[in-house]
């Protein structure tokens, strides 16, 4: 048994640690000694038991020295700082496969990201690009798909995609985490697979609003199909291939996230449509709903590349401009865009 590292004790990080622990020893990193002691005392996380093969640590040096394969899974807002913390202990011999579905924004001259900001590809980084910028690690990958953490922890069947430019990274990832109830596929289009997982969170917020208003399965089918085209069109300007949006990490992840009340982004849309305010929703959530920030980023990118993104723009107005969900739905139903498939 090899020892594999996991950085992050959120719901998905813990689920990945449990999957890896079926065939490996796992070092699970948490930043604070208090959380380490709490989890060690109960050997569970939010009611889910930790596998006996999991050992907790709060030492970046220990994890990096004992593990050549590491899965960083922390929110995008803290991802760069986390990598900086580990950088003194990482070297080109390490393989990092992250599972974070968010973007890092680089503003020139430390300018503020505001309503008038127009972003280009030069202003954003995927988490794999953050790893390459901040560390000596070369072999980088991404893990993404229909991976709702609670279902994984319950042992229900699921699948994911390991994406990397390097076949060695894909093979290592598949070998380490594949099991009888967790299927793993490979891809060399890491940019496309990452962006599919990131931008699908936008559509998940909209799906939650549709569900809350009992608008039916026809409306949801329309949203998923139009949403796939919208995020694929935008992602082409960022270096992604359309094929990434048609597989497990694309439409597979989209369907799961847009159908489950265990999805944080779906929950945000559902609660907004029920009349709650965004600040109240964010304050009450245990973990980050990445889609909220992603809507702002996608809205700014669409302005730069002149991409027609009616769903994204409507959600932006609902989340940040106090437009009502009902007004947004009326706008989308009246929007004229006649061509069906226009992203392949």
**Active site (catalytic) residues:** 200
- Bridge partners of residue 27, in order along the sequence: 5, 55
Beta strand 124-125 pairing with 104-105? antiparallel
If you search the block for the tokens 């929110």, which residue do you land on? Answer: 75
- Bridge partners of residue 4, in order along the sequence: 26
d(CA 335, CA 333): 6
The two three-digit tokens of residue 163, written as one number: 């994406």
d(CA 78, CA 10): 13
Phi (first) and psi of residue 120, to 5 degrees: -120, 180
Instruction: Report which secondary-structure segment, H or E, holds 251.
Output: none
Contact 23, 7 (CB under 8 A): no
Residue 258 burial by Cβ neighbours in a 10 Å radius (0-12, 13-18, 19+): buried
To the nearest 10°, report the CA torsion of 244, 249, 251, 257: -150
23 conformational bin, left if phi > 0, alpha if psi -120 to 50, beta if neither: alpha
Phi (first) and psi of residue 273, to 5 degrees: -70, -20
Contact 102, 79 (CB under 8 A): yes
């Amino acid at each position: 048994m090899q020892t594999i590292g996991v950085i992050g004790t959120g719901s998905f990080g813990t689920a990945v640690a449990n999957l890896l622990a079926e065939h490996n020893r796992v070092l699970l990193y948490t930043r604070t000694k208090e959380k380490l002691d709490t989890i060690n005392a109960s050997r569970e996380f939010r009611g889910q038991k930790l596998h006996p093969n999991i050992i907790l640590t709060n030492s970046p040096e220990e994890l990096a020295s004992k593990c050549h394969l590491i899965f960083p899974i922390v929110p995008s807002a803290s991802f760069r700082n986390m990598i900086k913390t580990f950088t003194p202990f990482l070297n080109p011999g390490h393989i990092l496969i992250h599972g974070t579905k968010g973007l890092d924004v680089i503003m020139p001259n430390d300018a503020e990201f505001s309503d008038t900001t127009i972003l280009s590809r030069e202003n954003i980084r995927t988490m794999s690009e953050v790893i390459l910028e901040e560390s000596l690690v070369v072999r980088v990958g991404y893990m993404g798909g229909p991976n709702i953490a609670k279902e994984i922890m319950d042992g229900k069947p699921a699948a994911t995609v390991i994406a990397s430019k390097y076949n060695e990274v894909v093979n290592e990832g598949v070998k380490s985490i594949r099991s009888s109830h967790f299927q793993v596929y490979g891809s060399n289009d890491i940019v496309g697979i990452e962006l599919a997982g990131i931008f699908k969170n936008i559509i998940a917020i909209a799906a939650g609003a549709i569900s809350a208003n009992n608008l039916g399965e026809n409306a949801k089918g329309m949203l998923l199909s139009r949403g796939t085209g919208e995020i694929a069109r935008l992602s082409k300007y960022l270096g992604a291939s359309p094929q990434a949006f048609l597989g497990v990490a694309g439409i597979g992840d989209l369907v799961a996230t847009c159908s489950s009340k265990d999805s944080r982004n779906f929950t945000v849309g559902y609660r907004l449509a029920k009349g709650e305010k965004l600040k109240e929703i964010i304050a009450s959530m245990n973990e980050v709903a990445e889609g909220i920030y992603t809507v702002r980023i996608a809205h700014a990118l669409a302005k730069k590349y002149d991409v027609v993104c009616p769903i994204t723009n409507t959600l932006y107005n609902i989340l940040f401009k106090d437009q009502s969900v009902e007004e947004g739905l009326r706008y989308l139903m009246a929007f004229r865009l006649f061509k069906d498939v226009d992203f392949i």
